[in-house]
């Protein structure tokens, strides 16, 4: 076939594509050094409840903030397994910095999985900012009355159409890293009929945007998860993600894979916290030499067995998270649906490990000068993230009970087909004598408590 040649005039009519931004290369080999650097100031930031701003240029330089940017956008395209590795390492250093990093990584990963979620020009602008320096992003979804929107309900934060822009008014609470964010993805409703919901992209420093320093938490104090107040904050008309009519659960996660990234990524982060607590414990046991013993506590079988329990629990949880993350990366949707259950197991293992370390060390573990008490306060925060234990366990229990009914029905059907008259004329067998078993109380007789609000 003869090739077709284009003239210079024809070439000039072709649209020119902007060059891909020069994002920093991903350096997973730097994770140990980054973890050590974060840990060096973690106690200071925890004590002062100060945002670890100096951490993010370091993370940016190692390519950790843009690890999940898709290859088509010039990024490394890291999957969930690599993200879990990153967050586990950062969690061991400073979980507050790790949590803000996680929210940014999850944002880029969502765009990598579902192209077009962001308007092209809007995402290109974010990537351009990300190439030049840290560009932190987080979704602000929780409100004082609503709680977490994954449990249902419309947000009170409202977007009103004003010509070629939206004006956002409302309040968001528990806005992790608010003081350091470049983009705030504000979950809000429109004032239209029918109502639409979506995430409105608010830039830092926008008129009418204020951050109230309300965060006074026991754990993750440096995350600065303050209140964000919006007073007619202008947002360009097209700077909205996922704007659509509100369904029965407007704030539900859009797909199982998004939920899996959140559940497994944050599980890895808090397992990093537990790993740091284990490392402190083992150093303490080697250094502590009671006069009456004349040898380190690490030489006693009781402490050796206790450390073995901690190590085994964390090994199992780490392996479970990593294995499921790899399956999610491979496109296994069944694995994605199991991520909530893994979060329950992993976070319970992390909390249990740190609790056991505190119990082993007594007053030493609860002394402010020692980092174990900080690790304990931080690891307790693993419970508040979506999906929360009560939701996961309720769903798992209902699914198991439904499967039992289906299995029982299938068994009865197959038995009837095999011998439809096998039970005809036969009385029920007499009960086997044995100890009496108390009857199970009717759960309906117990008081029902409403589910806690999400955070």
Q: What is the pLDDT along the chain (455 residues), one digit of tens a residue?
A: 444 444 444 444 434 446 777 999 999 999 999 999 999 999 999 999 999 999 999 999 999 999 999 999 999 999 999 999 999 999 999 999 999 999 999 999 999 998 888 999 999 999 999 999 999 999 999 999 886 777 677 899 999 999 999 999 999 999 999 999 999 999 999 999 999 999 999 999 999 999 999 999 999 999 999 999 999 999 999 999 999 988 766 666 668 999 999 999 999 999 999 999 999 999 999 999 999 999 999 999 999 999 999 999 999 999 999 999 999 999 999 999 999 999 999 999 999 999 999 999 999 999 999 999 999 999 999 999 988 999 999 999 999 999 999 877 666 655 555 554 444 444 444 444 444 434 434 433 334 333 334 44
Measured between alpha carbons, how far is 140 from 173 in angstroms, rounded to an integer? 8
Query: Per-residue pLDDT tens for 111-145?
Result: 999 888 899 999 999 999 999 999 999 999 999 98
Pairing state between β 183-190 and 165-175: unpaired
Closest Cα to residue 376, out of 241, 251, 280, 448? 280
Strands annotated E in 128-238: 137-140, 158-162, 165-175, 183-190, 196-203, 209-212, 226-236
pLDDT one-digit tens code per residue, 141-185: 999 988 677 767 789 999 999 999 999 999 999 999 999 999 999
Query: Would you say 138 and 104 are in contact if contact means Cβ atoms under 8 Å apart?
Result: yes
Classify 325 in phi/psi space as left (phi over 0), alpha (psi -120 to 50) or beta.
Answer: alpha
Contact 90, 97 (CB under 8 A): yes
Question: Can you tell me which residue has the tokens 């009914």?
Answer: 405
């Amino acid at each position: 076939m003869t090739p077709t040649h284009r003239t210079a005039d024809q070439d000039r009519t072709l649209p020119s594509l902007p060059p891909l931004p020069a994002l920093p290369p991903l350096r997973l080999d730097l994770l140990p050094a980054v973890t050590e650097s974060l840990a060096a100031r973690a106690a200071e930031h925890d004590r002062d409840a100060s945002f670890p701003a100096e951490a993010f240029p370091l993370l940016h330089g190692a390519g950790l903030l843009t690890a999940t940017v898709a290859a088509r956008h010039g990024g490394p395209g890291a999957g969930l397994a690599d993200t879990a590795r990153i967050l586990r390492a950062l969690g061991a250093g400073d979980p507050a910095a790790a949590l803000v990093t996680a929210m940014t990584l999850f944002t880029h990963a969502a765009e990598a999985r579902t192209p077009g979620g962001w308007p092209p020009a809007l995402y290109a602008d974010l990537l351009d900012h990300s190439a030049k320096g840290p560009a932190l992003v987080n979704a602000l979804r929780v409100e004082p009355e609503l709680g977490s929107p994954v449990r249902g309900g419309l947000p009170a934060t409202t977007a009103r159409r004003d010509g070629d822009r939206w004006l956002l008014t409302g309040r968001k609470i528990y806005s992790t890293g608010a003081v350091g964010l470049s983009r705030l993805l504000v979950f809000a409703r429109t004032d239209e009929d029918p109502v639409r919901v979506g995430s409105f992209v608010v830039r830092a420093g926008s008129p009418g945007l204020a951050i109230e320093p309300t965060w006074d938490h026991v754990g993750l104090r440096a995350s600065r998860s303050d209140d964000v107040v919006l007073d007619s904050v202008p947002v360009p008309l097209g700077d909205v993600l996922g704007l659509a009519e509100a369904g029965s659960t407007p704030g539900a996660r859009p797909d199982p894979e998004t939920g899996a990234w959140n559940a497994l990524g944050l599980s890895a982060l808090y397992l990093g916290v537990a790993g740091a607590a284990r490392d402190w414990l083992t150093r303490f046991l080697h250094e502590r030499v009671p006069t009456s013993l004349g040898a380190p506590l690490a030489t006693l079988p009781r402490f050796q067995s206790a450390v073995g329990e901690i190590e085994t629990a964390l090994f199992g949880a780490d392996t479970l998270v990593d294995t499921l993350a790899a399956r999610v990366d491979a496109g296994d949707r069944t694995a994605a649906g199991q991520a909530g259950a893994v979060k329950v197991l992993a976070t319970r293992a992390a909390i249990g490990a740190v609790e056991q370390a505190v119990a082993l060390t007594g007053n030493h573990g609860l002394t402010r000068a020692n980092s174990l008490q900080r690790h304990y306060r931080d690891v307790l925060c693993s419970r508040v993230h979506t999906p929360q234990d009560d939701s996961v366990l309720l769903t798992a229990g209902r699914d198991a009970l439904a499967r039992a009914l289906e299995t029982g029905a299938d068994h009865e059907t197959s038995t009837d087909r095999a011998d439809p008259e096998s039970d005809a004329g036969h009385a029920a067998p007499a009960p086997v004598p044995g100890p009496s078993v108390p009857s199970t109380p009717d759960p309906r007789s117990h008081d029902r408590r409403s589910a806690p609000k999400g955070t």
